[in-house]
Structure 1
Amino acid sequence: MAGLFGAAATASTAPNQTLGDLSKDIALSNPRGQRFRPRLLPAQGNTDFLAVSSWDKKVRIYEIASNGQSEGRHVYEHGGPVFNVDFSKDGTKIVSGGADNQVKVCDLGSTQTAQVGAHDQPVRCVRFFESGGGPMVVSGSWDKTVKYWDLRQQQPAAQIQCQERVYTMDVKDNLLVLGTADRYINVIDLKNPTKFYKTLQSPLKWQTKVVSCFTDSAGFAIGSIEGRCAIQYVEDKDSGSNFSFKCHRDPAQNNVVSVHAVNDISFHPVYGTFSTAGSDGTFHFWDKDAKHRLKGYPNVGGSIVSTTFSKTGNIFAYAVSYDWSKGYQHNTTQSPIKVMLHPVDADECKPRPAVKKR
């Protein structure tokens, strides 16, 4: 078996223990659209809510029952494909951004939608964060800027210029991490939001696809098009703290290894373990502290473009659709388009003690 995190396989990573089961996964009802990006809302009673942005210019909100059954609750539109969506901390609002250069917020109570911001080029990423006890929005764009929006005013509360187009972004507590073209990674302390706390080149040699913050906001993971993931701490620790590893690669055939993009990384909200999902149509759960894989799952039949956990970590949602990694000519009507809900057992994501070497 191939080494995990670049190390030799151990008894704890034997195939019979790490092969995951997809048989209980449930498809979202009537997802429609193209190239989804789901976000799960914190649980309310026995239900969760899932927001899904799509290239068909719509954001759809679904109610997810405890048995995994789903029902559509609301839809709103942008003027172009919607690239990203996020929930406010209290779960009452959704923010979205897309190719129409707009940032929109939908109030779930009233179902009213308003434009709260704009960029000169498409808005690639949006996130809510808390400031002064209230919600604010941060947006990153291909116009190379990051802007902060107070929902009570039309003009940005502040903005910061990046080196290149913003491709990916994540927020946890006061940590904001940005990944741009040319492999720049910018770290911002939201207590001082108009300055970069740190700037570095990605330790991965190829284009950055995703950044995702640790649950304790001590650092972040980076995924790239080359089938690699990097673990990076904000503050310098011992030399072994930051590392990278290979993933989403097919076994060698005639000495040729097929390498697939890491499209998304999601951290489990309780255990702090994380998932990677890729163009190869597989997802995996990993333990960064023990440096081993917890579970790997069979191919789901198409590229996985986006993932998210529910607040309690009992649901893992993954979106399957074409990710353009092979060009427009491979985007056919036969490409699967679906959002799946995977029920998470504790053993799948719970950290396991590393096997001690004798």
Structure 2
Amino acid sequence: MTAVSQSAGRELENPPKDGISNLRFSNHSDHLLVSSWDKTVRLYDASANALRGEFMHGGAVLDCCFHDDSSGFSASADNTVRRLVFNSGREDILGRHDAPVRCIDYSYATGQVITGSWDKTLKCWDPRGASGQEHTLVGTYTQPERVYSLSLVGNRLVVATAGRHVNVYDLRNMNQPEQRRESSLKYQTRCVRCYPNGTGYALSSVEGRVAMEFFDLSESGQSKKYAFKCHRKSEAGRDIVYPVNAIAFHPIYGTFATGGCDGYVNVWDGNNKKRLYQYPKYPSSVAALSFSRDGKLLAVASSYTFEEGEKPHEPDAIFVRSVNEVEVKPKPKVLPNPTS
């Protein structure tokens, strides 16, 4: 087993037994929800390093999110969308897709659960339906291709699909996308995450790049967008490029972390186009990232993502590290001295 630097953070006990598909901190506490290919969703108290609950599904769990500290939701490869009630250990099936459900999120703005599936649809659910009933579907919205990633900010929803399509919706009017876009990156999208300030989104690809995009379609708005290379290394004169699996924004400073198949987590200041920090290498690919609600903790899923097929690999692990301000706070721009 690879020795891990102490600065990687504290390793959580009782990790999933197969690939970690996602992890998310609660908006209300240091509870952490983790979905895995081992067909489980696990609830941890990250501060106490304690497993608080475990839910078994009929297939690999591809995503999860919190509703509040008493319940959450999951997206499964068995085509189901589930509500998880933490205190009782109960799970209800909210509904189904016609293919594996790849991503899920809860909209605090509308009180709906949003799911994206490989059946090329997006679905909105009302989780307040009666327990055990599936009469909670609000709407089904056809997508141009399989849904790979989605992200919410306020009433905006960004959906990234295969074929490099990106649809931007207003949740108050889902009849058609507000904007239909194409990724400015040439290769398959891996992750999309909205800026906390609601002005745009970051998009990562399998080819070691991140694009910074803006919703404002005016010339001045679009002139701000750019893309940059990351998670690469030079070896014997050639570039080795790694997929960028995860993007997580810091809730206070708006800077963001990226995680790649190179095992590194980098922190970026998007406004000043600078890398602020790189954490020591993790034992395996960084599959998912999440900052806690106050930005003081960062959860890192170190988990082989099978980009090189079946092979021996490090055990899947979750690290929770304390975040120092210097790692995530933008450095002030130095203005020229007018008297010089």
State the TM-score, normalized to the length of structure 2.
0.91
3-state secondary structure, aligned to 2:235: coil
Q: Does 1:140 align with 2:123?
A: no
Equivalent position of 1:59 in the other structure = 41
3-state secondary structure, aligned to 2:238: coil
1:154 paired residue among 134, 147, 154: 134
Sequence identity of aligned pairs in percent?
37
Equivalent position of 1:6 in the other structure = none
Q: Does 1:84 align with 2:63?
A: yes
Q: Does 1:249 align with 2:237?
A: no
> In the alignment, residue 75 of structure 1 is paired with which amino acid?
E
1:222 paired residue among 192, 198, 203: 203
CA offset at residue 43 of structure 1? Answer: 4.1
1:39 paired residue among 7, 21, 24: 24
CA offset at residue 349 of structure 1? Answer: 0.6
Equivalent position of 1:102 in the other structure = 80
Q: Does 1:340 align with 2:319?
A: yes
| Alpha-carbon contact 2:16-2:40 (below 8 Å) kept | no
Q: Does 1:303 align with 2:282?
A: no
Residues 297-322 of structure 1, C-alpha deviation per residue, up to 9 Å, x if partnerless?
22112100011011001110010111
| Alpha-carbon contact 1:22-1:297 (below 8 Å) kept | no
1:282-321 → structure 2 map (5 Å cutoff)? 282-321=264-303
CA offset at residue 33 of structure 1? Answer: 1.9
3-state secondary structure, aligned to 2:163: helix
State the TM-score, normalized to the length of structure 1.
0.87
Equivalent position of 2:105 in the other structure = 127
Following the alignment from structure 1 to structure 2, what is the Cα–Cα distance between the partners of residues 194 and 112? 34
CA offset at residue 24 of structure 1? Answer: 6.1
Q: Root-mean-square deviation (CA), in Å?
A: 1.6
| The 10-residue stretch of structure 1 (105-114 or 259-268) with the greater mean CA deviation from structure 2 | 105-114
1:357–1:34 distance in 2 versus 1, CA, 3 Å: farther
1:192–1:27 distance in 2 versus 1, CA, 3 Å: same
Equivalent position of 1:17 in the other structure = none
| The 10-residue stretch of structure 1 (192-201 or 310-319) with the greater mean CA deviation from structure 2 | 192-201
Q: What is the number of equivalent residue pairs in this alignment?
A: 325
1:222–1:22 distance in 2 versus 1, CA, 3 Å: farther
> In the alignment, residue 15 of structure 2 is paired with which amino acid?
P
| Alpha-carbon contact 2:144-2:161 (below 8 Å) kept | yes
> In the alignment, residue 264 of structure 2 is paired with which amino acid?
T
CA offset at residue 296 of structure 1? Answer: 1.1
Following the alignment from structure 1 to structure 2, what is the Cα–Cα distance between the partners of residues 58 and 24? 25
2:159 paired residue among 178, 193, 205: 178
> In the alignment, residue 251 of structure 2 is paired with which amino acid?
P
| Alpha-carbon contact 2:264-2:279 (below 8 Å) kept | yes
Q: Does 1:28 align with 2:12?
A: yes
CA offset at residue 131 of structure 1? Answer: 4.9
> In the alignment, residue 14 of structure 2 is paired with which amino acid?
N
> In the alignment, residue 175 of structure 1 is paired with which amino acid?
R
Residues 292-345 of structure 1, C-alpha deviation per residue, up to 9 Å, x if partnerless?
1110122112100011011001110010111111123x3x2x423100001001
1:72 paired residue among 51, 73, 77: 51
